[in-house]
A = this chain, B = another copy of it.
């Protein structure tokens, strides 16, 4: 629906539980689509009207979720609240829980991961392999840490926004200004000359039981996920490390729901845990068509307290290619009909009103006998489409 409904009603004994989602982007849209076959109604809270999930939600609540008084309006409308955005104020979320409403993942989980320095400390405390890291309250602290390093914002960073590689004092000075280190808390990590990037989705239930999706390879461009190949073509020993570390990481933050975890694979075969997102994740979009039960369906099952479904692939391999905005412009893509002519291409258009350069506007998934065949199909279809002008 396109606007907040004046008739927004308290939950009734409907045919299934009502799910509330904080945030109305593509992650909320795909979660709501996965909830619908269970008979669930979804109420989406967004800051303003006209958002991707509007096409599949039941009701919208427009408001500022970081304001406890506004977030508290969501509670009585639904049975369980979840989120598509991990940067919601934990003060507001705690007020929601204190008022007796159910929230998954829990406030404590979000407190452990929102601040990426705190997240790294949790991983280190659990004995999980990460790049060496340190707090960076001052430039002096970075100098003491040593070069080459990556300076990162502790809060509100995603898709590589808020990161800068620094190799000397001059680069540090420039990066500190760019990231506004005097205003925003930063931390520093050792520069990690990884060979490849790997990722995995884990869904963990309220009883602590978890399912692990395949280990995938992610190929980024400009710090934004470009292609995901499932499964990753890595030795068993590497996949086993990823599975072990990822499972321990989700347990360490007592996660409930679907989580995306990103790893660096080093040339010596070791893996380092890069970060965890306490939500459904771009590296798991391929699961909609490629797995028995998608990351979105399993997230719904987990937060509603239902048994989890199988994360197994339904084909030998799959690939997903993101569709990014080429430039500012309308949200309607050119070339959709051409893309739909590619056999086996599953096209997703998020329905964002406006394209912006680099904005995630949609994605294409394809299955295949191997990841290269699947990737070729997905890339061919993605190559037909343009958002915001010609590329």
Let me know if A80 is at the binding interface, CB within 8 A.
no
Chain A residues at the B interface, C-beta cutoff of 8 Å: 1-3, 5-7, 9, 13-16, 29, 32-33, 36-42, 54-59, 292, 301, 305-307, 309-310, 314-315, 330-333, 336-337, 340-341, 343-344, 346-353, 362, 367
CB contact under 8 A between A15 and B349, given known A309-B340, A336-B38: yes
CA distance A350 to B343 in the complex (A): 30
Additional pairs, 8, CB under 8 Å, beyond known A39-B350, A306-B337: A14-B331, A14-B353, A15-B331, A15-B350, A40-B351, A306-B336, A309-B343, A314-B314
In this complex, what residue of B is CB-closest to A41?
Answer: B55
Q: In the assembled complex, how far is the CB of residue A12 from the closest CB belonging to chain B, in whole angstroms?
A: 9
Q: In the assembled complex, how far is the CB of residue A13 from the closest CB belonging to chain B, in whole angstroms?
A: 7
From the candidates B6, B41, B57, B337, name the one contacting A307 in the complex (CB within 8 A): B337
Residues of B within 8 Å of A32, CB to CB, are 56
In this complex, what residue of B is CB-closest to A354?
Answer: B15
> Can you give 16 A-B contacts (C-beta < 8 A)?
A1-B1, A1-B5, A2-B59, A3-B7, A13-B330, A14-B331, A15-B333, A15-B350, A36-B56, A38-B349, A39-B350, A40-B351, A42-B55, A301-B340, A306-B340, A307-B340
Residues of B within 8 Å of A37, CB to CB, are 33, 346-349
CB contact under 8 A between A332 and B15, given known A5-B3, A307-B341, A349-B38: yes
Residues of B within 8 Å of A54, CB to CB, are 41, 58
From the candidates B9, B39, B344, name the one contacting A331 in the complex (CB within 8 A): B39
Residues of B within 8 Å of A9, CB to CB, are 2
Residues of B within 8 Å of A15, CB to CB, are 330-333, 349-353
Residues of B within 8 Å of A41, CB to CB, are 2, 54-55, 351
From the candidates B2, B39, B301, B353, name the one contacting A349 in the complex (CB within 8 A): B39
Q: In the assembled complex, how far is the CB of residue A308 from the closest CB belonging to chain B, in whole angstroms?
A: 8
CA distance A343 to B344 in the complex (A): 26
